[in-house]
Amino acid sequence: MIEIDLDNISEEELYKVFGVEGNESDALNDSYLELFEIIGRDAMLKLFRYFRGDKIECPMKLYRPEFIADLAKQETDRRKRAKIARAGGYTAKFIESVLRKRRNESEEDEEHVL
């Protein structure tokens, strides 16, 4: 019989006590097994600790459009701006629309001040 103080044991310690090391395919739920295979034990346990029970959504794009727009804005050559947009997962047209919207909002703010 395994003696465990469930109130004072970490997931890492429980992993060892249960003898999961090397038996992950038998011990872990499918989602956690997939995470284990992709990111490793420690990161999988960290995700479990902080997000268990939560549904995690992973958007198709890693970066916010505003961030990519800020990067593109620094470039004057439209082709280079388009490359920045594509590298961030967006179209040049979309990033240009974000920049245009910001300019319009900025102009409106200036009109209200005057």
Regarding whether 104 and 77 lie in a shared domain, the answer is yes
Report the pLDDT value the prediction gives residue 97, as an integer from 0 to 100.
96
Residue 59: inside a domain, yes or no? no
Regarding whether 39 and 79 lie in a shared domain, the answer is no
Residue 2: inside a domain, yes or no? no
CA atoms within 13 A on the CB side of 114: 6
Residues 6+ apart with CB under 8 A from 15: 21, 41, 45
Residue 73: inside a domain, yes or no? yes
Regarding whether 75 and 35 lie in a shared domain, the answer is no
Predicted model pTM? 0.69
Report the pLDDT value the prediction gives residue 2, as an integer from 0 to 100.
63
Which residue segment(s) compose the domain that 78 sits in?
65-113
Regarding whether 81 and 44 lie in a shared domain, the answer is no
CA-nearest of 8, 31, 28 to 18 is 28
Report the pLDDT value the prediction gives residue 7, as an integer from 0 to 100.
74
Regarding whether 74 and 109 lie in a shared domain, the answer is yes
Residue 91: inside a domain, yes or no? yes
Report the pLDDT value the prediction gives residue 1, as an integer from 0 to 100.
57
Q: Could you give the number of structural domains in the chain?
A: 2
In the block, residue with structure tokens 């974000």: 98
With H, G, I as helix, E, B as strand and everything else as coil, classify residue 114: coil
Residue 58: inside a domain, yes or no? no
pLDDT per residue, tens digit, the chain (114 aa), is 566 777 778 888 889 888 899 999 999 999 999 999 999 999 999 999 999 999 999 999 999 999 999 999 999 999 999 999 999 999 999 999 999 999 898 888 777 665
Regarding whether 69 and 47 lie in a shared domain, the answer is no
pLDDT tens-digit map of 81-106: 999 999 999 999 999 999 999 989 88
